Amino acid sequence: MAYNDLREFIRDLEQRGLLKRIQTEVDCDLEITEITDRVSKMTGEKNVALLFENVKGHTMPVLMNAFGSMERMALALGAEKLDDIAEDIAEIFRLPHISLQNKLDLLKLIPKAKSAINFPKYVKTGPCKEVIIKDAPTLEAFPILQCWPDDAGKFITLPLVFTKNPRNGKRNVGMYRMQVFDGQTTGMHWHIHKNGAENFRAHQELGKDRIEVAVAIGADPVLTYCATAPLPKDIDEMVFAGFLRKKAVELVKCETVDLEVPAHAEIILEGYVLLDELRREGPFGDHTGYYSLADEYPVFHITCITHRKNPIYPATIVGKPPMEDCYMAKATERIFLPVLKSQMPEIVDINLPLAGVFHNCAMISIKKSFPQHAKKVMHAVWGMGQMMFTKMVIVVDEHVNVQDEQEVWWRVFNNIDARRDIVMVDGPLDVLDHSSPMPNWGTKVGIDATKTWPSEGYSREWPDEIVMSQEVKERVDAKWKELNLE
């Protein structure tokens, strides 16, 4: 089920017992972070979304940890489980490979492919325009969080940042933190590898003096996820959102900039970024579990604020995993697995461990077909979009469950010969990586933990794994209840 807006999502979470309302007064400076951090690391029913309804000095409630479990992440995307979405994508990718002789499958898939494309619907107005502030707009009314003690200030942490490519008019929606400098200006922390930064540079190359920007806060949860999704360049996030929602996203024209934004968002910030203005931004407690360092970034100037009556302010915090952003990354892992398989059919499964914070580790199982196949996969992964940032790629055989990290490490610790099976290469790294000697690039490692073949130079006998016979397992299964060992 797709939600029309954030409020429908909140109601559904509450009805399912997955959200807790907090009436105790809390401070948006550090206190909300500490409470949310503790809850996000709880297990089972204690890990819930939080709606803080009594925020010191503010009238707006703050929504936290809404995406902070696999169950809530699937609900946010309108699915019972994330693999259901992956299966829909997989069927679309099957379409070009179907033989014309198999007309029945072809006829079934063509309507599905057509129905999957839901272009945005442009409307004249929407709830996001219930209140319009053009005269001296200010951020002071919003309960923006100071997340961690050494942060440079308050940060908007869950923004959908809309820009356009000036050459072709194509829209981009990304999620970039925004440090609040004052009531009318924030930082715009778009990394050099991101499409928002590309649009910024394209405006510079054309000799323009500014780039128009709009920021949506509190959209339908599918839209929030799509702003984080690693889509190919120039693929419209709002079209992808239409695919996930199975219906079109309603967009409305901004008041002061030539951009369209989600009509059902809670809050819209409109403005511009000057192309020759930089300001010190950061430090900020980041998803790596460390503070990202201060640096020079562009500045966003607000020209207009619109919002719903009695808006809800959603935010997120990042830090040592597991946290809410980890589950958004796991959604990407499952949803984009069919895309990865379309490029590398030998891949069976992939796991991006929570402790690897998205880009530091990928565990991949493959159907090994030729010598050095694992190394081929490593290099292919490093050449694919945002996978280029992966610091460690571990490759195992197809029968290995990569979702069981202990099993993967057991094979790494037992199967590899360091000289033969470890590959080290230089290449791009995530901007937030603090360990490399140079910003934005460094050394990455690949580990081939597959069974080594004679054709790969292994002349010794490879031992069999210890596995109990199926007949004995079944005999013990029949006696298990009688043994009373649970």
Catalytic residues: 286
Distances (CA, A) of 370 to 377, 400, 445: 12, 18, 21
Residue with tokens 């991101």: 194
Distances (CA, A) of 216 to 64, 174, 270, 349: 17, 11, 9, 34
Q: Which of 21, 15, 66, 63 is nearest to 40 (CA)?
A: 66
Alpha carbons within 13 A on the beta-carbon side of 18: 19
- Residue 162 is encoded by which pair of tokens? 């809309």
Distances (CA, A) of 13 to 77, 221, 222, 293: 13, 12, 15, 36
H helix intervals, 227-323: 237-245
**Residues 332 and 351: beta-carbon distance below 8 Å:** no
**Residues 78 and 223: beta-carbon distance below 8 Å:** no
H helix intervals, 150-271: 195-205, 221-226, 237-245
DSSP-derived secondary structure letter, 401: -
